Amino acid sequence: MKKRSSWVIFLILIFLLVGKSAQAVEYRGFLDHLAREFYKEGNTEDVLANLLDKENEISSGAKDIAYFLSLAEIEMFRGEIKITAGLEKPENHFEKALELANLSLEVEETAQGSRLAAEALSQLFNYRGTFFIIRNGNRALNFLEKSLELGEDWYMASFVRANYLINAPRIGGGNREEGIKIFEGILEEEHPVFSFLILNIKASLAREDKEEEKAKEYLREAGEIFPGSPWKGQLF
């Protein structure tokens, strides 16, 4: 019986590893090319205009689960762009993304829908009061755990999970060391947007720890990915 149990565990591990390795490493799925353009060139207006074109194209189709998920992803990226570029009211987009993600989950529980709900809630923690955070902290974690369990959105869900662990207080489940370990795993994939963002975050953390030389090295590495980016050194 013990030998059989060992084989079962071995097969499960192989299944999980194969499932992960088969995934395309993309930042926000179908928006990957726009994310690369934004962080490489910093052309905010052009990227926002392209997002509007994509929204209009999607809105002309069927109002199915793909519709809710695609629009939620667009809204999350709009909010992300506005934070990075210092534009007003990014929280409006996170509110809309949460609404759309919840609508998708009413149709079907998916990894992407769960991750989007967790990500939107996590961003809204920066704009809402303590009561909102207390009421929704466990919800965000549960959404993340479900997304990782389902597995189809592994890299984005892991990225959001790492950010949560790094920024949340210990009492809220925060664990900086574990978050950085997750980041290191994503860095191994050498996706330019993930790597650029993670290196900027690591530079910020190094500065918090008064490790200026480490911060400079992380920013130098980020600059090698997107040499002309105006967002190097920004906190995302």
pLDDT, average across residues 14-18: 45
Q: Between 79 and 234, name the one with better pLDDT.
A: 79
Rounded to an integer, what distance in angstroms lies between the CA atom of residue 97 and that of residue 101? 6
Are 151 and 111 in contact by the 8 Å Cβ rule? The answer is yes
Q: Which residue in 94, 98, 57, 95 sits closest to 77, CA to CA?
A: 94
The pLDDT assigned to 236 comes to: 59
Question: What integer pLDDT is reported at residue 20 of this predicted model?
Answer: 55
- One-letter amino acid identity for 58? I
- Residue 204 DSSP SS3: helix
Cα–Cα distance between 210 and 192 in angstroms, integer?
A: 27
Does residue 4 surpass a pLDDT of 60?
no
Tell me the C-alpha distance between 183 and 197, whole Å: 10
| Of the options 1.25.40.920, 1.20.1260.10, 3.40.50.970, 3.40.50.300, the CATH number for the domain spanning 27-225 | 1.25.40.920
C-alpha distances (whole Å) from 201 to each of 16, 31, 81, 204 are 28, 21, 16, 5
Token pair 């953390």: residue:
205
The domain locations on the chain are 27-225
Residue 49 phi, psi dihedral angles, 5° rounding: -65, -40
In a 3-state reduction of DSSP, which class is residue 84? Answer: helix
103, 113, 156, 187, 199 from 133: Cα distances, Å: 21, 20, 22, 30, 27
Q: How many whole angstroms separate alpha carbon 193 and alpha carbon 34?
A: 10
Tokens of 234: 């920004």
Q: Is the pLDDT of residue 22 over 80?
A: no
Judge whether 49 and 90 are in contact, CB under 8 Å: no
Q: What is the pLDDT of residues 65-117, one digit of tens each?
A: 999 999 999 999 999 999 999 999 999 999 999 999 999 999 999 999 999 99
- Side chain identity at 50, as an amino acid letter? N
Q: Which has the closest alpha carbon to 27: 145, 181, 190, 174?
A: 190
Judged against a pLDDT cut of 60, whether residue 137 lies above it is answered with: yes
Place of tokens 């192989």: 14
CA 213 to CA 30: how far, in whole Å?
Answer: 37
Give 232's DSSP letter.
T
pLDDT at 40 over 50: yes
